[in-house]
Amino acid sequence: MKTMKKRMNHWIAFFLSVLILLQNAIVFAAEPSAEELLLDDPVSDTSLMCDSNGWGVAPVGWNTWVTVGCESAQNVLYANGAEAYASYAAQGFPDISRAEIRIVLENSVFAWSEANMETMIKYALYESADGKNFNKIENVTVNKIASADSGKKTIFATEAHFAKGMKHLKIMPRCTASWAFLLTRVRLYGKRFDYGSIGSLYKTHAEMFDVGVSIEPTQTEKYKDLIVSQYNEVVIENQMKPYCIHPSENVYDFSGADAIVEFAQKNGLKVRGHGLVYEKIFPAWFTQNADGTTASYDTVMKRLEDHVRTIVRHFKGKIYCYDVVNELFGHVGWDIRDLAKIVGPENLIANVFQWAHEEDPDAILILNDNYYDIPSKRQLIFNTVKKLIDQGVPIHGVGFQDHHFIDTDTVDIDAALTLFEQIPGLKLYITELDVRAYESQDTTTIYPDYMNEELKELVARKYASMFDVYRKHADRIEAVDLWNITTRESWTNTLVDGRNNNFANLFDDLAAPLPAYERVIDTKGELPRWDGRTMPARIRNNNYIIDDQRDVIKIKGTAAGDVTASLF
Report how far residue 163's alpha carbon sits from residue 127's, in angstroms, rounded to the nearest whole number: 9
Burial class of residue 73, CB neighbours in 10 A (0-12, 13-18, 19+): exposed
Distance of CA 16 to the CA centre of its chain: 52
The three-point CA angle 561-567-568 to 5° equals 130
Short-list 96, 115, 124, 259, CA closest to 187:
96
Strands 551-554 vs 544-546: parallel, antiparallel or unpaired: antiparallel
* pTM across the whole model: 0.77
Q: What is the pLDDT of residue 100?
A: 75
Instruction: Look at residue 352 and give its three-state secondary structure.
Output: helix
Report how far residue 408's alpha carbon sits from residue 277's, in angstroms, rounded to the nearest whole number: 28
470 to each of 202, 205, 212, 346, how far by Cα in Å?
14, 10, 14, 29
Report how far residue 279's alpha carbon sits from residue 272's, in angstroms, rounded to the nearest whole number: 19
397 touches 426 (CB < 8 A): yes
Short-list 89, 87, 112, 105, CA closest to 171:
87
- Amino acid residing at 132: K
Name 475's bridge partners: none
427 touches 480 (CB < 8 A): no
* Cβ within 8 Å of residue 290, ≥6 positions away: none
496 to each of 233, 291, 436, 456, how far by Cα in Å?
30, 37, 12, 18
Question: How many CA atoms lie less than 13 Å away from 337 in the CB half-sphere?
Answer: 17
Report how far residue 259's alpha carbon sits from residue 233's, in angstroms, rounded to the nearest whole number: 15
483 touches 402 (CB < 8 A): no
Give the active site residue among 216, 233, 237, 327: 327
Instruction: Look at residue 418 and give its three-state secondary structure.
Output: helix
Q: What is the pLDDT of residue 35?
A: 77
Q: Sign (positive/negative) of CA torsion 55, 56, 60, 64? A: negative
Q: Does the active-site annotation cover 31?
A: no
318 touches 269 (CB < 8 A): no
Query: What DSSP state is assigned to residue 111?
Result: P
Instruction: Look at residue 431 and give its three-state secondary structure.
Output: strand
Report how far residue 192's alpha carbon sits from residue 37's, in angstroms, rounded to the nearest whole number: 9
Q: What is the pLDDT of residue 108?
A: 42
Report how far residue 506's alpha carbon sits from residue 207's, in angstroms, rounded to the nearest whole number: 21
Q: What is the pLDDT along the chain (568 residues), one digit of tens a residue?
A: 444 444 444 444 444 343 333 333 322 222 334 677 877 766 433 332 222 222 232 322 222 222 222 233 333 333 333 344 566 666 677 778 777 776 655 544 344 444 455 544 544 566 666 666 666 666 555 555 455 555 545 555 666 676 666 777 766 554 434 344 556 677 788 888 889 889 999 999 999 999 999 999 999 988 999 999 999 999 999 999 999 999 999 999 999 999 999 999 999 999 999 999 999 899 999 999 999 999 999 999 999 999 999 999 999 999 999 999 999 998 777 777 889 999 999 999 999 999 999 999 999 999 999 999 999 999 999 999 999 999 999 999 999 999 999 999 999 999 999 999 999 999 999 999 999 999 999 999 999 888 899 999 999 999 999 999 999 999 999 999 999 999 989 999 888 888 889 999 999 988 889 999 999 999 999 999 998 889 999 886 554 444 444 444 443 333 333 333 322 2
When computed from its CA atoms, the radius of gyration of the chain, rounded to whole angstroms, is: 29
Q: Buried b vs exposed e over 510-537: b needs ≥16 C-beta within 10 Å?
A: bbbbbbbbbbbbbeeeeebbbeeeeeeb
Q: Does the active-site annotation cover 327?
A: yes
Alpha helices (H) in 207-317, listed in sequence order: 224-230, 242-245, 255-266, 297-314
Query: What DSSP state is assigned to residue 190?
Result: E
Q: How many Å from the N-terminal Cα to the C-terminal Cα in the chain?
A: 91
Give the active site residue among 216, 432, 454, 457: 432
